A and B are shown apart, each in its own frame.
Chain A
Amino acid sequence: DAGVTQSPTHLIKTRGQHVTLRCSPISGHKSVSWYQQVLGQGPQFIFQYYEKEERGRGNFPDRFSARQFPNYSSELNVNALLLGDSALYLCASGPDGISGNTIYFGEGSWLTVV
């Protein structure tokens, strides 16, 4: 079975631009989470969606938004990109929205803002 898939794998954007990152969860999983990992740091939680509803939001500005579709795939959108948004963006899926259950990560989207 396919794991969590993310696209694109690498992209370069200019300051001020907008970016959309996409994620498909493991088949049968209904929860998707997004994390930002800056070089040399651990991943930081951005959003969680379950059954198309936002279940959690980390400490990120309103330039970051996300949504989940009826097929449980998800998009992360970042507006007005800053140099500091350069990072690896990881998507994770889980079977449900219950705290403490294991979530499984994709290979991420490497975003460089110049």
Chain B
Amino acid sequence: AQKVTQAQTEISVVEKEDVTLDCVYETRDTTYYLFWYKQPPSGELVFLIRRNSFDEQNEISGRYSWNFQKSTSSFNFTITASQVVDSAVYFCALSDMNYGGSQGNLIFGKGTKLSVKP
């Protein structure tokens, strides 16, 4: 069965600290996609990144970086020099082929609430 685990329920850091959000996934498919979304208090899920299972290169976008390791089924997200505006709930999600190719079937973790204090 497909599953996404975000073991960290809440994290609190002080501005400018680095923080890593963990994501572990389970799937029997060899082709799958992983996502991170950010959810501010307004409720909208903001897309951050998408990676496919064949691309294990780490990615950096400004202060954000992602570490994808198939060997440990993990797709961790690091924010460098955190800012107050980074405060939000962050979700990791999995999309694989077990749903007959339906695009909309993202399996989400329970999310990690990040609080960045000034």
A residues touching B (Cβ–Cβ < 8 Å)? 31-33, 35, 40-45, 47-48, 50, 55-56, 58, 88, 90, 92, 94, 96-108, 110
Contacts and interface: CB of A to CB of B under 8 A. Distances in A.
Interface string B53-80: 0000000000000000000000000000
A103 B104 contact: yes
Interface of B: 4, 31-33, 35, 37, 42-47, 50, 52, 91, 93, 95-97, 99-111
Nearest to A48: B104
A48 B110 CA distance: 21
B91 A107 contact: no
Contacts of B93: 42
A40 B103 contact: no
B52 A43 contact: no
A34 to B, nearest CB: 8
Contact of A107 (B32, B42, B50): B42
Contact of A97 (B91, B102, B110): B102
A14 B114 CA distance: 34
A43 B108 contact: yes
A97 B101 CA distance: 8
A33 B44 contact: no
B44 A42 contact: no
Contact of B110 (A35, A40, A105): A40
A88 B43 contact: yes
Given A43-B91, A43-B106, A100-B32, A105 B45 contact: yes
Nearest to A95: B103
A44 B108 contact: yes
B103 to A, nearest CB: 5
A31 B44 contact: no
Contact of A31 (B31, B95, B104, B106): B104
